Amino acid sequence: MNSISLPAALAIIAMLVGPALGQADANYWFERGTALYREGNYLESMEAYDMALEINPQDAEAWNNKGIDLGMLGRHDEAISAFDRATSINPSYAEAWYNMGVIFDMQENYLAAIEAYKMATRIDPSYQKANVNKNLDIDMVMAPSLSCGCSGQLPAL
């Protein structure tokens, strides 16, 4: 009968249980961030998402939610970076593309917003908010060109 030493047994248990505990911690911090966001505590919410991301840096939803908090705090460039990270992890994450478009709109970068909304609507053609915002931005970009009669100078969309 092979016997295993107590320290070796504990090491094996830690190796098997450790990842599950870490995931529970990431879920805890994610849920905490969500609750804090609902209370309007955007800074604390973002910090909770940071804790979740320390445990699981590949969590696209946590990056997206962190981006929302950063946007609410007026930290637009950082928000764009967070949405970019979310869409790098999950290129099919329509909500992150939409949220990126919203921040680009806040920065009055309408061409970039249009591209982000286009990505969201390619992924989910029924994403109504993204379709509406994309069309509003197209109108915003095109309106000056149309009103001056210089249709040969329209931007490429």
CATH superfamily of 8-90: Tetratricopeptide repeat domain (1.25.40.10)
Higher pLDDT, 22 or 131: 131
Question: How much is the pLDDT for 4?
Answer: 67
Question: How much is the pLDDT for 155?
Answer: 56
- DSSP label of 153: G
Question: How much is the pLDDT for 128?
Answer: 92
> By three-state DSSP, how is residue 36 classified?
helix
- Segment 74-78 mean pLDDT: 98
Confidence of residue 59 (pLDDT cuts 50, 70, 90): very high
Quickly tell me which residue has 């609750």 as its tokens: 35
Confidence of residue 11 (pLDDT cuts 50, 70, 90): very low
Burial class (CB in 10 A: 0-12, 13-18, 19+), 20: exposed
Higher pLDDT, 32 or 136: 32
96-110 tens-digit pLDDT: 999 999 999 999 999
- Segment 36-41 mean pLDDT: 97
- Domain spans of the chain? 8-90, 110-157
Question: How much is the pLDDT for 142?
Answer: 83
Residue 34 has pLDDT above 60, yes or no: yes
User: Residue 156, by phi and psi: left (phi above 0), alpha (psi -120 to 50) or beta?
Assistant: beta
- Segment 19-36 mean pLDDT: 82
CA–CA dist 61, 23 (Å, integer) = 14
- Segment 21-29 mean pLDDT: 78
